[in-house]
Structure 1
Amino acid sequence: MSHITDLTLAEIRDGLKAKSFTSAETTKAYLDSIEKARGLNAYVLETPDRALAMAAKADARLAKGEAGPLEGVPLGIKDLFATEGVRTTACSHIIDNFVPTYESTVTSQLWRDGAVMLGKINNDEFAMGSSNETSAFGPVVSPWLPPNWSAEQGKEKLAAARAAGTAPNGFLVPGGSSGGSAAAVAARLCPGATGTDTGGSIRQPAAFTGIAGIKPTYGRCSRWGIVAFASSLDQAGPFAQTVRDCAIMLKSMAGHDPKDTTSMDLAVPDYEAAIGKSVKGKVIGIPKEYRVDGMSAEIDALWQKGIDWLRDAGAEIREISLPHTKYALPAYYIVAPAECSSNLARYDGVRYGERVAGREITELYENTRAAGFGDEVKRRILIGTYVLSAGYYDAYYVRAQKIRTLIKRDFELAYADGVDAILTPATPSPAFGIGEKAGADPVEMYLNDVFTVTVNMAGLPGIAVPAGLSNEGLPLGLQLIGRAFDEETLFTIGHAIEQAAGSLGKPQNWWA
């Protein structure tokens, strides 16, 4: 049944309903694939017993004709989502053995609709990173091999690194923070996975691995039960092979939740119905400020291809200006660390999580946090504490929030002028190597978010769509930014780009 893992989520859903195969067979096929792909380090916890039990219940419901929208479909869950009775760590040592007694709203809705949990997926520690190298469980290896590497080379090099207990330097990163989710979908270790996006953590890894991923409008999906990084920026969303698959997943993930005061009480559309609609007459904005220094020529060429595809499909292309874009990245790296320093203050070794003893309470705090947090998390806590401190709050944090308002206004003016969606690159380059940027210069790593942070600062929806391959054969993606709570238009236009681009293929199954 290994061929099942080559199917899209929509094909699996339809095949289960048609009784072409069972959820138990499907789940077993994915569990077998996960076992063979442990070298990629995409999963930090496999839950085969739970998965097979959930699949059996799904098959019973399917037999009775009581199928939910995702009945029997196996999914991977980012280790930021609380899962009742299943270890949830945010990939940090400070909550190494935390087993929640509650379920996040997003995952509870997936289970309500019949989905099956394959396991918990690797991510950057507390979602802080752009490459999935900050995880306490070690980096995720992209299923896409570096240029000019043979499958045999990849297998041998990975086996050698794992045997020696060293970092798999030289392999490609899958992006971050949701790199495990992106790698798992790209490697066909699940047909869909949950992610979170604070500054691009769904869209950037989706683009790096040749799959689709959407960050919905802030407030579209509940944040309740998701380990917090930056509360005014975090938003859950799906990864999948195709735009249609993302639409199917988001329908289940989205919805009002009274437990989350930022959750909007709006009806959730049938997103799948937006797939295949015409883009004729749609106005696509092309922001001149996104042509940044350092962007590779192949990214610029891909952007132009996207423009041509949409123009050929009948869309109107219009150059627009988003003048405050250049301030988005520095403003984001003030707002996000400030909120992170506040959210992570709760990890003190007193109530739950790791505890490292001290002679008195202050030393206990210091010892616990020093041992429990990784370098990137410590860096952001220090930055955030600094910008919130007396004498600097007005100079940094307040100014960053004012800039955020101006960024949001730029988008509002563009949409008020008739623009339906905005097309940009998703990343400034293809995927880079593990160890290439981490640690040496954090700012260089932060620049990976240059095209994505504006969307979070403005609270808008954004989707990354696989659109081509680099000159060296690595995946590249385009980003669409939409009006608030108009994910449907993004699915329509994203599908049109996906169809025009054609299939990028999939990574070789070299790790097995």
Structure 2
Amino acid sequence: MPAELFHQSIADLSAQLSAGSLSAVELTKAVLARTRAVEPSVHAFNSCDEADALAQAAASDARRAAGQAAGPLEGIPIGLKDVIAVKDQPLTASSKMLANFVSPYDATVTTKLRRAGAVIWGRLNCDEFAMGSSTENSAFGPTCNPWDVTRVPGGSSGGSSAALAAGEAIATLGSDTGGSIRQPAAFCGVVGIKPSYGLISRYGLIAYASSLDQIGPFTRTVEDAAIVLGAIAGHDERDSTSFKAEIPDYRAELGRRRGPWRLGIPKEYFGEGLDPEIGAAVEKAIAFYKAQGCEIREVSLPHTQYCLDTYYIIATAEASSNLARYDGIRYGHRSKNAKDIVDLYFQSRAEGFGAEVKRRIILGTYVLSSGYYDAYYLRAQKVRTLIRRDFLNAYREVDALITPTSPIPAFKIGEKSDPLAMYLCDIYTIGVNLAGLPGISVPCGFTASGLPIGLQLIGQPFQEANLLSIARAYERAHDWNSKHPKL
């Protein structure tokens, strides 16, 4: 029995749209109805503009009728994390600081989605300014995991992962600074890819840590990830960190690259703190690749133990600099209680930012302050170079690495009140951002209590085509992506 429209893949829906057995308006209406039905339980969206989505869908149908279908995402409703600019739509970063801000322009990825024919749908909840691992830090309240609404969907892109898992969008975009696509993808049982740094333009993305941030898609299947990635990747002159690389047809490459591959198992990722059920699921995935003829090697990433410390120095330092612009003067929240200009700065930032954002600004300001810059920030940058070198040395022996995505499954809302315990949730993902590498999380099973488990594959720089093919080989032999939460 075919899945409901809102649970089907881009590839399947595009075939129906092309054949004329389905219209973009019908598909969009199905997604809107599903959203109205489950959103009170999930809270994936900060805002929705149904009229705008239906107008885009009608325009898509008109283009198709005229033989002018725009591209591979024609008529597909795609939701965007509320840190990615969409013209004339709210852009809040889930913060009181930007609660009333409306974007005057489109991000580059938004423009590219429109050119590919996508229906841009809704503003998805996240941790405030993308700082968090659970989407509990949002000023608009937490998002719930569709598999168990008492649990978190992961973060910071929790709204993006939850909306997709719940059928409130056909695909979504998020941002990943230290695991914020891959970890929520694992928690919600969907596919999430963090591309190589520089592959996708950051123009129009609200900055958290500029040398780490990267936009990427959440999808139901690896094939869908290849489709969306192909639509949004490419050089952009408006982003000085954008890399000039030839973008292959990622979807076509899935059929051409069949392995076998040399796959590395980093011994540092399978030690203390790994949930036994997750470890067992990942070991089964490794056994699958071995049975397919892949060469499995143990490798070492010796500086892994410094990843967490290095990340939280660099990320908070860059956050402190990036968030200095939110001062109550130029734009953003302005306090009505200030007594003078100096007090206006203090009061506006105190009222506009949440606790976690303040914590990271304070940490970042400290490590950048006079007398501490060399001891913390400069040293962290040197260690970052060593971490990247570890990965590149491993790639002399293997094509990609296999690890768990998260050491634990989705935890209960409110369970992790200690910031350090929360930070440890990203222990397997932050190294990828520090090294600027591509990483993908694909579903690889469920715990005994029915919570999704994610398998992380880490690829070589700008070798997304190979990474997607390795992930697709596993996905095709398993049916994890065909299972959906019962809301």
Shorter-chain TM band: over 0.9
Where does residue 114 of structure 1 map in the other structure? 117
- Alignment equivalent of 1:79, drawn from 68, 82, 95: 82
- Alignment equivalent of 1:406, drawn from 386, 390, 399: 386
Aligned to 1:275, the other structure's residue is in SS state helix
1:28-177 mapped onto 2 (5 Å cutoff): 28-39=29-40, 40-67=42-69, 68-145=71-148, 171-177=150-156
Percent sequence identity is 54
Where does residue 3 of structure 1 map in the other structure? 4
Aligned to 1:422, the other structure's residue is in SS state strand
Aligned to 2:4, the other structure's residue is in SS state helix
Aligned to 1:214, the other structure's residue is in SS state strand
Aligned to 1:84, the other structure's residue is in SS state coil
1:277-296 mapped onto 2 (5 Å cutoff): 277=256, 279-296=258-275
Where does residue 228 of structure 1 map in the other structure? 207
Question: How far apart, in 2, do the equivalents of 1:274 and 1:189 lie?
Answer: 29
Question: How far apart, in 1, do the equivalents of 2:66 and 2:480 lie?
Answer: 36
- Alignment equivalent of 2:433, drawn from 456, 466, 479: 456
User: Shift in Å at residue 2 of structure 1?
Assistant: 9.1
Deviates more, 1:247-256 or 1:339-348: 247-256
**What do residues 66-94 of structure 1 show as CA deviations (whole Å, max 9, x unaligned)?**
21111111111110001111111011000
- Alignment equivalent of 1:344, drawn from 301, 320, 323: 323
User: Shift in Å at residue 274 of structure 1?
Assistant: 2.6
User: Shift in Å at residue 500 of structure 1?
Assistant: 2.9
Question: How far apart, in 2, do the equivalents of 1:206 and 1:38 lie?
Answer: 18
Matched, 1:23 2:17: no
- Check conservation: 2:147, 2:486, Cα contact below 8 A: no
Question: How far apart, in 1, do the equivalents of 2:33 and 2:433 lie?
Answer: 37
1:246-257 mapped onto 2 (5 Å cutoff): 246-257=225-236
- Check conservation: 2:235, 2:243, Cα contact below 8 A: yes
Question: How far apart, in 1, do the equivalents of 2:480 and 2:44 lie?
Answer: 23
Where does residue 166 of structure 1 map in the other structure? none
Question: How far apart, in 2, do the equivalents of 1:41 and 1:508 lie?
Answer: 15
Structure 1 counterpart of 2:14, which letter? R
Question: How far apart, in 2, do the equivalents of 1:52 and 1:281 lie?
Answer: 45
1:79-478 mapped onto 2 (5 Å cutoff): 79-145=82-148, 171-277=150-256, 279-357=258-336, 358-415=338-395, 417-437=396-416, 440-478=417-455
User: Shift in Å at residue 276 of structure 1?
Assistant: 4.2
Question: How far apart, in 2, do the equivalents of 1:117 and 1:30 lie?
Answer: 12
Question: How far apart, in 2, do the equivalents of 1:321 and 1:508 lie?
Answer: 37
Structure 2 counterpart of 1:71, which letter? E
Where does residue 471 of structure 2 map in the other structure? 494
Structure 2 counterpart of 1:205, which letter? P
Structure 2, gaps ≥5 residues long: none
Structure 2 counterpart of 1:477, which letter? G
Aligned to 1:501, the other structure's residue is in SS state coil
- Check conservation: 1:198, 1:233, Cα contact below 8 A: yes
Question: How far apart, in 1, do the equivalents of 2:233 and 2:269 lie?
Answer: 30
Question: How far apart, in 2, do the equivalents of 1:98 and 1:79 lie?
Answer: 11
- Check conservation: 1:469, 1:476, Cα contact below 8 A: yes
User: Shift in Å at residue 47 of structure 1?
Assistant: 1.1
Question: How far apart, in 1, do the equivalents of 2:464 and 2:251 lie?
Answer: 11
Deviates more, 1:213-222 or 1:283-292: 283-292
Question: How far apart, in 2, do the equivalents of 1:27 and 1:507 lie?
Answer: 19
RMSD: 1.3
Question: How far apart, in 2, do the equivalents of 1:136 and 1:292 lie?
Answer: 35
Taking structure 2 as the reference length, the TM-score comes to: 0.97
**What do residues 444-475 of structure 1 show as CA deviations (whole Å, max 9, x unaligned)?**
00000000000000000000010111122210
Structure 2 counterpart of 1:310, which letter? Y
- Check conservation: 2:259, 2:470, Cα contact below 8 A: no
Structure 2 counterpart of 1:53, which letter? A
Question: How far apart, in 1, do the equivalents of 2:64 and 2:355 lie?
Answer: 48
Structure 2 counterpart of 1:5, which letter? F
Aligned to 2:208, the other structure's residue is in SS state coil
Question: How far apart, in 2, do the equivalents of 1:225 and 1:435 lie?
Answer: 32
Aligned to 1:117, the other structure's residue is in SS state strand
Structure 1 counterpart of 2:385, which letter? T
Q: 1:318 to 1:27 in 2, by over 3 A?
A: same
Question: How far apart, in 2, do the equivalents of 1:265 and 1:326 lie?
Answer: 33
Question: How far apart, in 2, do the equivalents of 1:466 and 1:292 lie?
Answer: 21
User: Shift in Å at residue 496 of structure 1?
Assistant: 1.3
Aligned to 2:453, the other structure's residue is in SS state strand
Taking structure 1 as the reference length, the TM-score comes to: 0.92
Give the length in aligned residue pairs: 483
User: Shift in Å at residue 6 of structure 1?
Assistant: 2.3
User: Shift in Å at residue 275 of structure 1?
Assistant: 2.3
Aligned to 2:302, the other structure's residue is in SS state coil
Aligned to 1:324, the other structure's residue is in SS state helix
Structure 1, gaps ≥5 residues long: 146-153, 155-170
